[in-house]
Structure 1
Amino acid sequence: MGSVTRGTTGPDRLRRVERWLAGPAAGPLRTAVDPLVVDLGYGAHPVTVLDLQRWLRRVRPDVRVVGLEIDPERVAAARELTAGLPGAPRFARGGFELSVPGGGRPVLVRAFNVLRQYPEEDVAGAWELLRSRLAPGGVLVDGTCDEVGRRAAWIALDAGRGPRSLTLSVRLGGLQRPSEVAERLPKALIHRNVPGEGVHDYLRALDAAWARAAPLGTFGARQRWVAACAEVARSFPLLDSPARWRLGEVTVAWAAVAPAGGALRPPAGS
């Protein structure tokens, strides 16, 4: 289920989300009975699937990574390129239904630069279908990044409760203002960066805090970013700490940035 995407990719393009998945988001994988992970819509080359497996083996050496693509030619090419590699991921044709060879429900699904290529109105249905295929306690990550992985943004969704957070991750060197990442927001938010929307308020707050922290730039962009995040944390429900901020990363609770009008909001009480 789904449509063929452009399929552009490259080595280490998704390193920012992989570092996060092997770090603060690793809990479900660490405790899973079946450590099954799906990289959905990996593109024209399987390199990001191999990258993901390498990172996640730090958490679970026995992780089972499956790359799913709707284009059968891409699946055939991935199998050919990885043939003979010891412990290589498996590749299969599949889409939002998450038909994994041999069965099983993944504890983690990464769908990067996939839903960005779909209409906004299709996002909620895709999220619902993907979440219904997760193992109990599983996590879906829907995100987007630039061509070389220097700016990325992703939404984490729980199997049961839906969207829970938005993470921004940027290369601090050369950053003029945090809102530069806006063009890489996932589809659920990219058209919502307008006055009256939570994500717009959040990005404006980051920009303002970044500007006020300019004097700390003398000590490096990292110190400036940490100070900006600390200021924003006084007004927004940030879910991480300076240990993550120092990486050019910041995570906020979904309720603070969810689209206005109730669209794509978590269930009441979540």
Structure 2
Amino acid sequence: MTAQHPPARRPSAGRPVGQATRGTTGTNRLRRNDRYLAGLPALRRTDDPLVVDLGFGASAVTALELWTRLARVRPDVEVIGVEIDPERVARAREQLAAVRTGTTPFAPDARVRFEPGGFELPLPGGRRPALVRAMNVLRQYEEGQVPDAWALTSARLQPTGALIEGTCDEVGRVCSWVDVDPGGEPVRLTIALRLTDLDLPSIVAERLPKALIHRNVPGERVHAVLSALDTAWTRAAPLGVFSAQQRWIAVVEALRATGVPVLGGRTRWRLGELTLPWSAVAPG
């Protein structure tokens, strides 16, 4: 999302809240996050499967890919891309017009549209989304601005909705994100890694959400978790002859055996994911 105002709980009337991101995006960059969203109860159980791709960047591709993947589990899903930069909104609408002609890889009837806005989510008719995805949006902010951004956006959610906010590398192989509840409170941290050729899990330190990226120092919980992951990954190296997935599963089980409250099961772990309650990584 060229800087305007920092996030605030009460935006000025008619003015989008936030800063323009660098706009970097690319095909399949957010595939791991898309897959995670597709499995969330907030999407599968809602009566109004509205999803917002907040700060979608310089191309319509992330919103279109998001709809394509979510529609496999919720055919009636609707995705709205929201961007603070009006030029990006105009460009995305032009790209969507091309999609409607049936000359692109995307479904011409994709339930996707693009609107200008920021953290305040100015949705038509006051609709509330089941999910808001904000990847690579807060990376350029100060850590102290994060709680207000979470609070402002999550207040627009459905009662059982979730804000998913995080960061990934340029090709989507190293990702992490936080689930934030409608009250603006962080609930879970997920890291998602491409396991093939992975050196050390702590590579995700460079792509932690803004609330944690400066906390990877001795004495902080997230540092302890990443250090434990690296140790377990090194010790599980012999299992790599079977598969990187088997090695990762052993790593997660070893972490859980030390008392870290790992969430989920092998189905998610095989994907290179690890989800922890926020309490396991919260800044001290």
Q: TM-score normalised by the shorter chain: which range applies?
A: over 0.9
Alignment of 1:9-28 (within 5 A): 9-23=25-39, 25=40, 27-28=41-42
Q: How does 1:147-186 map to 2 (within 5 A)?
A: 147-160=170-183, 162-186=185-209
Aligned residue identity for 1:20:
Y
Note the C-alpha offset of 1:88: 4.2
How far residue 100 of structure 1 moved from its aligned partner, in angstroms, is: 1.2
CA–CA separation in structure 1 for the residues paired with 2:62 and 2:216: 29
* Deviation digits for residues 203-233 of structure 1 (CA, Å, limit 9, x no counterpart): 0111111111111112121111110110001
Instruction: Return the alpha-carbon distance in structure 2 between the equivalents of residues 143 and 71 of structure 1.
Output: 20
- What letter corresponds to residue 245 of structure 1 in structure 2? W
User: How does 1:104-143 map onto structure 2 within 5 Å?
Assistant: 104-143=127-166
Identify the match of residue 68 of structure 2 among 48, 54, 59.
54
Match of 1:247 in 2: 271
User: Unpaired runs of 5+ in structure 2?
Assistant: 1-16, 101-107
| Corresponding residue to 1:41 among 55, 63, 80 | 55
Counterpart AA for 2:194 = R
Counterpart AA for 1:209: A
Determine helix, strand or coil for the equivalent of 2:144. Answer: helix
Q: Is contact 2:166-2:175 (8 Å) kept?
A: yes
In the alignment, the residues of structure 1 paired with residue 53 and residue 78 of structure 2 have an alpha-carbon distance, to the nearest angstrom, of 11
SS, match of residue 233 in structure 1: helix
Letter of the structure 2 residue corresponding to residue 40 of structure 1: L
Q: How does 1:65-76 map to 2 (within 5 A)?
A: 65-76=79-90
Q: Is the Cα contact below 8 Å between 1:92 and 1:101 reproduced in 2?
A: no
User: Would the aligned equivalents of 1:82 and 1:88 in 2 still touch at CA under 8 Å?
Assistant: no
TM-score (structure 1 length as normaliser) = 0.93
- Equivalent position of 2:212 in the other structure: 189
Q: CA shift at 1:161, angstroms?
A: 6.5
Map 1:230-269 onto structure 2 (within 5 A).
230-234=253-257, 235-260=259-284
Indicate if the aligned counterparts of 1:137 and 1:160 stay in contact, CA closer than 8 A. Answer: no
2:9 corresponds to = none
Q: Report if the CA contact (8 A) 2:78-2:111 is conserved.
A: no
Correspondence 1:64 to 2:78: yes
Does 1:202 pair with 2:222?
A: no
SS at match of 2:186: strand
Confirm or deny that 1:30 pairs with 2:44: yes
- In structure 1, the gaps of 5 or more residues are 261-270
Paired residues of 1:108 and 1:140 also in contact (CA < 8 A): yes
Which amino acid in structure 2 is aligned with residue 33 of structure 1? D
SS in 1 for 2:197: coil
Task: Give the corresponding residue for 1:4.
Answer: 20
TM-score norm. by structure 2 comes to 0.89
Instruction: Give the RMSD, CA atoms, in angstroms.
Output: 1.0
Q: Distance in 2 between matches of 1:114 and 1:74?
A: 14
Alignment deviations for residues 34-71 of structure 1 (CA, whole Å, 9 cap, x no partner): 11110000000010000100111112111111000000
